[in-house]
């Protein structure tokens, strides 16, 4: 595929064409996803759970992330690579800049941070230094101990208003993309309309600008045997993994996934 850039993704939002994103952790799957037309590869700290077998993302280190970013880069054929900053890797501006430099040097085109408007200063500093930032709002897995578990966020009016305000503040600070996880579909649609930057959803309905799933989830692989409500097994009816990846891209582009049963009401 031609090299996907931020300009490409912004153009897709303006045209109303959905953006496809999947997590990816190695060269082989990077090549397979690119061949299927996946535009964005997210090297997620979800690798702590699906690759390393931890019960959360918290044990993942910056060194882990840099290793997997470099692996994905070697198999990439034009997709846009986003790398997660792991737990406590961005607690100060200085630490954030140093760790982002490591991930960008490993091959990332963008970094992703979990949080809210309190990240605005870090986002501004990153943008000034040529590092695009995606901010992950809603259910933020690194904060699972404060959130009290993996729960839908933004159902209460005060939470919804705050999340919308945070999204706008982060865009103004220079964020180049937002990711909404487990957010009511109405709120996610409102946020996607309120900002000019692409908004990617997971468990956030179909009115956002694109979709992401964990690769292993959409292939029907799970250590626990349980799948989140927002996941669809794209291996069903497909002869092989390449077919499943293609089916995912087709379904997202056609706005057939996510279906109503994959989303959450207010």
In angstroms, the CA 67 to CA 26 distance is 9
261 is catalytic: no
Q: Is 45 annotated as a binding residue?
A: yes
Phi, psi of 179 (to 5 degrees): -125, 125
Give me the half-sphere count of Cα atoms (radius 13 Å) on the Cβ side of residue 75: 18
Q: Is 55 annotated as a binding residue?
A: no
3-state secondary structure of 16: coil
Q: Is 71 annotated as a binding residue?
A: no
CA-based diameter of the chain, in Å?
49
The two counts, helices (H) then strands (E), for the chain are 11, 8
In angstroms, the CA 19 to CA 254 distance is 11
Catalytic one of 128, 181, 186, 261 = 181
Binding residue positions: 45-46, 84, 112, 114
Binding residue positions for Mg(2+): 45, 84, 114
Q: Which positions are catalytic? A: 181
Binding residue positions for 3-methyl-2-oxobutanoate: 45-46, 84, 112
């Amino acid at each position: 595929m031609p090299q996907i850039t931020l300009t490409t993704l912004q153009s897709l939002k303006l045209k109303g064409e959905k953006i496809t994103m999947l997590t990816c952790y190695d060269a082989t799957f990077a090549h397979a996803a690119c061949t299927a037309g996946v535009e964005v590869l997210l090297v997620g700290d979800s690798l702590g759970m699906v690759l390393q077998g931890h019960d959360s993302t918290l044990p993942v280190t910056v060194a882990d992330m840099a290793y997997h970013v470099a692996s994905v880069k070697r198999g990439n054929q034009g997709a846009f690579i986003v790398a997660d900053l792991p737990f406590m890797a961005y607690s100060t501006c200085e630490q954030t800049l140093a760790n982002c430099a490591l991930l960008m040097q490993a091959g990332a085109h963008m970094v992703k941070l979990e949080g809210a408007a309190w990240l605005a200063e870090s986002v501004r500093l990153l943008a000034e230094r040529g590092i695009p930032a995606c901010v992950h709002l809603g259910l933020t897995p690194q904060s699972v101990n404060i959130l009290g578990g993996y729960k839908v966020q933004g159902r209460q009016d005060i939470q919804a208003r705050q999340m919308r305000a945070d999204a706008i503040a982060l865009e103004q600070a220079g964020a180049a993309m937002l990711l909404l996880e487990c957010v009511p579909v109405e709120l996610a649609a409102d946020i996607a309309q309120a900002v000019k930057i692409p908004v990617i959803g997971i468990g956030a309905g179909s009115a956002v600008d694109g979709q992401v799933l964990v690769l292993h989830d959409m292939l029907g692989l799970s250590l626990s045997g349980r799948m989140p409500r927002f996941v669809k097994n794209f291996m069903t009816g497909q002869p092989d993994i390449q077919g499943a990846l293609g089916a995912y891209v087709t379904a997202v582009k056609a706005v057939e996934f996510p279906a109503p049963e994959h989303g959450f009401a207010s």
